[in-house]
Amino acid sequence: MNGMTGIGFSKTADKKISGTLPSKKTLLILILICFSVTMSSCVYLRILALRKQFTQFDKYIVVDKKDGLTFSFLRPTLYGNDIKWLGLYPVSQKTKSGVTIWKHILEKMYNDNQAETGSYDFPIDTRYQNEKLHAIYFPESFFTALSKDFFIALCKYMGQSDMDLDQRNREVRYRGGDVDINHTLSSVKQDALVQQFGIPYLTENKNGIDSLEYHYRVKKSSASADSSARTSTEYIYRFTFSEQDLLTGVAIKIPILGYIELDFSEPELHAAIN
């Protein structure tokens, strides 16, 4: 037992073990990653909760069609930081009577060889009380080609339709909703869309189906142009029409969330307007 002072480790062993422990910098990175994943999961859960409210649209959402279109949420779920997390940064904000209003601008994008006169950007307001999103406002100019009734029916259709989620492609497809959207489909025409949105970013004709695709990006103020601001803030809207100029589908690409596809091509959807 000579030389033994009890159960312990030599200095060499101490160095070996301490060498296998992660550094403070590594631990900090791991903590930040875990925090980021947790925060992302919370945002998705809140978005899912909002989507569930759309399944009972008239119960949770109040619609005001005066001077534009306003959706007011009776049970707010999203925070302002959630909206920023989705890449929708405000260009300006103001607070009045306890309500904070963020103004967002969707800037139209063009191909290298495209040019047109006039402005086809779209402003959208989001309004907050107690840090939560309680209303979204779309100006009257948004509804030149897309009627308010169509837009409302579109939101209801998305909320009440069956949803197929493709995890690999991050696509959500909605089909066969119970909402009566037939009477609004016939009001959407290609010529009216071009008049409101201008020349498409991309056009395509395949098997008699015309596609008009528009690309927008979120305009950022100098205050939001920091390292934490997401660069992937491109929104894509695609409208498809049949040979009879009937709207057969709408696809929207939202940053982070991916594609949302609304399919109106089922025969029963057009039976009422053919």
Task: Please report whether residue 17 resides in a domain.
Answer: no
CB 181 within 8 A of CB 190: no
Q: How far is CA 171 from the centre of its chain?
A: 12
132 pLDDT above the threshold of 90: yes
Task: Please report whether residue 2 resides in a domain.
Answer: no
Q: How many CA atoms lie within 13 A of 205 on its CB side?
A: 5
When divided into structural domains, the chain yields a total of 1
pLDDT of residue 151: 86
Task: Please report whether residue 46 resides in a domain.
Answer: yes
Q: What is the mean pLDDT of residues 234-258?
A: 83
pLDDT of residue 48: 77
Task: Please report whether residue 225 resides in a domain.
Answer: yes
Average pLDDT score, the chain: 75
Task: Please report whether residue 182 resides in a domain.
Answer: yes
Helix crossing, 148-160 with 24-55: angle to 10°?
Answer: 110
Q: What are phi and psi of 46, to 5 degrees?
A: -70, -35
* pTM higher than 0.85: no
Which of 186-190, 210-214, 216-220 reaches the highest mean pLDDT?
210-214
Q: What are phi and psi of 266, to 5 degrees?
A: -60, 135
**Is 254 in a helix, a strand, or coil?**
strand
Two structure tokens written together for 229: 């601001």
Q: What is the mean pLDDT of residues 243-247?
A: 85
Task: Please report whether residue 14 resides in a domain.
Answer: no
245 pLDDT above the threshold of 60: yes
Task: Please report whether residue 245 resides in a domain.
Answer: yes
pLDDT of residue 254: 77
Range of the domain at 194: 32-270
